[in-house]
Amino acid sequence: MLLITGGAGFIGSNFVLDWFSQRNEPILNLDKLTYAGNLQSLSSLEYNKNHLFIQGDIGDRTLIRSLLNEHKPRAILNFAAESHVDRSIHGPEDFILTNVNGTFHLLDEVKSYWSDLPADEKEAFRFLHVSTDEVYGSLNKYDPAFSETTAYSPNSPYSASKAASDHLVRAYHHTYGLPTLTTNCSNNYGPLQFPEKLIPLVILYALDGKSLPIYGDGQNIRDWLYVGDHCSAIRTVLDKGQTGEVYNIGGDSEKTNLDVVLTICSILDDLKPAAQPYSELITYVTDRPGHDRRYAIDAHKIESELGWKPAENFESGIKKTVDWYLTNDKWIDNVTSGAYKNWINKNYSKRENV
C-alpha cells in the first residue's frame, strides 16, 4: 500500500487516478480537504476497494501515527501543500503551518515508523516529497535552466515554505538515514486544476466573456509540464530513484504568460467561437509583488539516469486541457463556489489596468 498525502488536490488526484490506470496496488489517501481539495475529482473511485480516503491533516501526529501502524504503507508520497503564490502573499501563515510544520510532523512520525520496520521492509521503504522549481528563485532570459545543484533562492512566502520543507527532507535523510526522494517540478497544468491558477482561470474567464487579466507585461516565462507527464515521472522516481537524490521534472516547454493566454484564446476560437476573438478580452493589470521573471527546468538527470521524458509538448497538452474544461461543467460549477468567488474578488478587484 501507498500513503498519498494531498491526494484530493490537483496533482495528487491526478496521480491517484493515473496510478489505478496503471496498477492495482492499494492507496491510502489522506487529504485535509481545504478549498483546493475536491473529492469529486476522485468520484470514479467511489467503489474501488483499493482506494481508502481519510480526511485529515499531515500535521496531526496522532492521526499519522495510527495510519502508519494500521496500514503499514511501503511508501509515502507527500503531495500535501499550500501552493498558490498570490495566496501566500495575502496570508503566509497557512503556508508555514502546512508546508513547514506539517512536513516536519509527517517526517518525524514516518521516521519512527520506518525505524521499527523489519530489515527487508526498511530497505524497500521510500518517502517521496513533491516540491517545486520555485525554490530555486528567478532566472534572467539567458540564464541556464535550474539543475538539481542550483542554489536555493526562494522569493515568495510560498517558495520559501517549500524550500524549508525540502531542507527538512534532506536533513532527515542525511541525519537519520530515512530513504527519501525529492522531486522539483515546473508549472503543472491539466484536468482537475483549481481555477485560481493561470490556465484554468483564463479558460473559464474567456468562456464567461470576462477580461483576461495578465500580470505586468505578460513576459514572465514558465516551463509548462502536463500533469499526466508529472504523474509518470513520479512513478518513475518511486520505482527507480536513488534514495537521498533530487530529480527535477520539467516539460521542456518554456512559454511567456502572454503566449499561454494567446494559445488558449486561439484554441477556444476554434472549439467554441464567440462574437469576437477571445484575445480581445486580454487586459494587463498591476503585477504581483516580487513576481519571478523566469523559471526553467533542466531535466537531463531524470532522463539520463531513470529514462523518463515528457510525452506531451505544450501544444498537445493544452489542447487536452481546454477540451477537459469544456466538457466538465459539473466539476467546474462545484469548485467555483462562493469561497472561490470571494478569493478572486480579493486578489483581482483592486489591481489597476496598466
**Catalytic site includes residue 172:** no
Q: Which grid coordinates are listed for 354?
A: 496598466
3-state DSSP call for residue 157?
Answer: helix
The full length of the chain comes to 354
Catalytic residue among 158, 172, 189, 205: 158
Rounded to whole angstroms, how far apart are CA atoms 303 and 165? 25
Rounded to whole angstroms, how far apart are CA atoms 313 and 154? 27
By CB atoms closer than 10 A (0-12, 13-18, 19+), residue 123 is exposed
Cα angle vertex 274, ends 270, 277, to 5°?
A: 75
Residue 139 φ then ψ, to 5°: -110, 150
Sign of CA dihedral 133, 139, 141, 142: negative
CB 168 within 8 A of CB 107: yes
- Rg, Å, the chain Cα set: 20
Please spell the DSSP secondary structure of 113-147, one letter per residue: HHHTS-HHHHHH-EEEEEEEGGGG----TTSPPB-
Catalytic residue among 82, 133, 223, 292: 133
CB 295 within 8 A of CB 187: yes
Sign of CA dihedral 300, 301, 304, 308: negative
Q: Which grid coordinates are listed for 98?
A: 502546512
Catalytic residue among 134, 166, 223, 298: 134
Rounded to whole angstroms, how far apart are CA atoms 256 and 11? 22
Q: Which grid coordinates are listed for 309?
A: 521524458
Rounded to whole angstroms, how far apart are CA atoms 244 and 135? 18
**Catalytic site includes residue 158:** yes
- Would you name the residues annotated as active-site residues? 133-134, 158
